[in-house]
Amino acid sequence: MESPFKSDILKGKVALITGGASGIGFEISTQLGKHGASVALMGRRKQVLQSAVSVLQSLSIPAVGFEGDVRKQEDAARVIDSTFKRFGRIDILVNAAAGNFLAAAEDLSPNGFRTVLDIDSVGTFTMCHEALKYLKKGGPGRDSSSGGAIINISATLHYTASWYQIHVSAAKAAVDATTRNLALEWGTDYDIRVNGIAPGPISDTPGMTKLAPEELGSKAREEMPLFKIGEKWDIAMAAVYLVSDAGKFINGNTMIVDGGLWLSRPRH
């Protein structure tokens, strides 16, 4: 679908997207690029990174891929420094890397629980922490009055409770708290806006493939008045809006992009 935004609204900006080579992260990379940003993708899989970068370059988007795991602080620091060296500034950090699987709480080992928190929650904080020096007002490549923007990809499953998702629910709750606290501290001190996006079910993503098998079968869908499957494009448009000047007064907000699904209950 054609973007409703002008194609130059992110001109001159540089974005680093974790998990940026696949799924929702890749669509965000693509749309930030199509609206004028140069993009750096961080991911664990070399082949996936290489093919994502080729696709972006074929769209004339300046793009580079860096291998790294958000669980490793040294990878975070290296990729952030490399992004700065490649493009001369960093304006936007999108934390889209996430780990997930279905597991009943009684079958989930504490290490399985910890692994998802390490990727989603600690990984998000680590990336923000390491990127701060480049994102803050007056940082390298920036003027003294304006800071950058961070988007943390969340979910809605922790607003209530979700079967077999205790680890992800806990992890995304921590992500939302991190979004709010950084918005407060870094918005005040450094003019950095920190927001989140909470997608609902999105078609053609690893999340849907892994999590939606029987759980969201046709019967369950019929009982959900607002059930719709979104597109990766919907999430990417929210990201473009939030990081652009259109979102300049939005800070500390996690925008729900789920067609209203999380509000729904069975009719009877």
Least distance in angstroms from the C-beta of 110 to ligand HXC: 7
Least distance in angstroms from the C-beta of 261 to ligand HXC: 10
Site of interaction with ligand HXC (CB under 6 A): 98-101, 103, 108-109, 111-112, 115-116, 155, 157, 168, 206-207, 210-211
Least distance in angstroms from the C-beta of 166 to ligand HXC: 11
Which residue, 147 or 199, is less far from ligand HXC as judged by CB? 199
Are 63 and 38 in contact, with CB atoms under 8 Å apart?
Answer: yes
100 Cβ partners below 8 Å, 6+ apart? 116, 165, 168, 206, 207, 210, 211
Least distance in angstroms from the C-beta of 104 to ligand HXC: 9
Which residue, 111 or 218, is less far from ligand HXC as judged by CB? 111
Which residue, 9 or 48, is less far from ligand HXC as judged by CB? 48
In this structure, what DSSP letter does residue 118 have?
I
254-257 sheet: strands from edge to edge: 63-67, 38-43, 14-18, 92-95, 149-153, 193-199, 254-257
144 Cβ partners below 8 Å, 6+ apart? 137, 138
Which residue, 118 or 191, is less far from ligand HXC as judged by CB? 118
CB-based burial label for 89 (10 Å; 0-12, 13-18, 19+): middle
Which residue, 9 or 170, is less far from ligand HXC as judged by CB? 170
Least distance in angstroms from the C-beta of 115 to ligand HXC: 4
The CA distance from 225 to 129, in Å, is 40
The CA distance from 241 to 61, in Å, is 19
Which residue blocks in the chain are alpha helix, DSSP H?
A: 23-34, 46-58, 73-87, 110-116, 123-135, 166-190, 206-211, 218-222, 232-243
Which residue, 90 or 168, is less far from ligand HXC as judged by CB? 168
Least distance in angstroms from the C-beta of 56 to ligand HXC: 20
Shortest CA distance to 91 belongs to which of 32, 159, 3, 44? 32
Which residue, 210 or 221, is less far from ligand HXC as judged by CB? 210
Least distance in angstroms from the C-beta of 218 to ligand HXC: 18
